């Protein structure tokens, strides 16, 4: 594992931040499951999360004194990233979360690096290399190990929900390639995250008003509100830690946070939902770890793409 490149950040501090980032990312998927089980509709949870995130990112922009203008190109960029980074993956995760273990949901989301490489190879933005082919193969093996037992059950078990969950890493994988190719000149990371959050909230609002249940939203402190609040807080903190680590340690080091998030998601599932997993799931974890490891080891020669981890945000 590559160590910190910034002499001001020690190895112990960098590792602690990496563990914090991965742990919070895994926690977010557990919170989506908890919020879904608490009775709120998917649109209610998504709308509430986007409103809170929009307020937090607006506050951060004001605190930093950052402003930015919008033009057609930036609006298209933010619109695409809003759909790929927020709306589609979060709706898919919320739709599937009540029906599959939180640990399995995190495992599937952790396929993002493998799918990023797959999309890049398909669109020829990456060179073909043996490590990348092997990374895709082991990632595919992880999917087969999770899906195969369900396909043998009556009614195919939870296979439908697992396929829906696969939308999450697919969207993040496509988004990573799109961001690398279309990042607007002069836009900071905070401006991009804030902008895509606001656009996502604007796009979801009319759908929420028509198909959601605004009346059911309350200011009470039920498990649903707590879960969404923790989801938002965890997402903001891990995103800030992510960008800080990117600047101070580099993308390869940060990529190893995917390992942390994978096992953190399984751990949160055991702690919060008393989940247990069979041999097939643990086999998928091993296959996915090999896939992520190959992506991380190959990264110094990779084309500039998202370094292996995409927030649940």
Each of the 313 residues of the chain gets a pLDDT tens digit; together they read 444 445 456 778 888 998 999 999 999 999 999 988 877 788 888 998 999 999 999 999 999 999 888 899 999 999 999 999 999 999 999 999 999 999 999 999 999 888 888 888 887 776 778 888 888 899 999 999 999 888 887 777 889 999 999 999 999 989 888 988 899 999 988 899 999 999 999 999 999 988 877 655 555 667 778 898 999 999 899 888 887 887 787 666 777 888 899 999 999 999 999 999 999 999 999 999 999 888 877 754 443 444 344 454 5
φ, ψ dihedrals at 305, nearest 5°: -135, 175
């Amino acid at each position: 594992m590559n160590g910190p490149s910034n002499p001001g950040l020690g190895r112990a501090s960098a590792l602690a931040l990496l563990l914090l980032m991965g742990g919070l990312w895994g926690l977010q998927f557990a919170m989506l499951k908890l919020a879904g089980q608490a009775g709120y509709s998917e649109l209610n949870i998504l709308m509430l999360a986007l409103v809170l995130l929009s307020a937090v990112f607006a506050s951060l922009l004001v605190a930093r004194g950052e402003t930015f203008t919008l033009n057609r190109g930036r609006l298209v960029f933010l619109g695409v990233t809003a759909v790929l980074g927020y709306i589609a993956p979060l709706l898919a995760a919320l739709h599937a979360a009540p029906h599959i273990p939180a640990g399995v949901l995190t495992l599937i989301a952790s396929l993002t690096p493998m799918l990023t490489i797959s999309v890049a190879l398909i669109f020829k933005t990456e060179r073909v290399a043996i490590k990348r082919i092997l990374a895709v193969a082991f990632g595919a093996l992880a999917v087969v190990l999770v899906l195969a037992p369900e396909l043998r059950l009556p009614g195919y078990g939870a296979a439908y929900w697992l396929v829906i969950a696969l939308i999450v890493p697919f969207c993040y994988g496509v988004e990573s390639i799109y961001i690398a190719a279309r990042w607007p000149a002069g836009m900071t990371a905070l401006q991009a995250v804030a902008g895509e959050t606001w656009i996502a909230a604007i796009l979801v609002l009319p759908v929420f008003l028509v198909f959601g249940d605004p009346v059911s939203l309350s200011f009470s402190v039920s498990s649903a509100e707590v879960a969404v609040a923790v989801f938002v807080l965890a997402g903001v903190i891990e995103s800030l830690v992510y960008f800080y680590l990117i600047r101070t340690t580099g993308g390869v080091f940060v990529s190893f946070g995917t390992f942390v998030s994978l096992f953190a998601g399984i751990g949160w599932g055991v702690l919060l939902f008393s989940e247990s997993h069979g041999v097939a799931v643990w086999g998928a974890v091993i296959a996915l770890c090999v896939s992520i490891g190959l992506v991380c080891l190959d990264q110094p020669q990779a084309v500039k793409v998202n370094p292996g981890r995409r927030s649940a945000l």
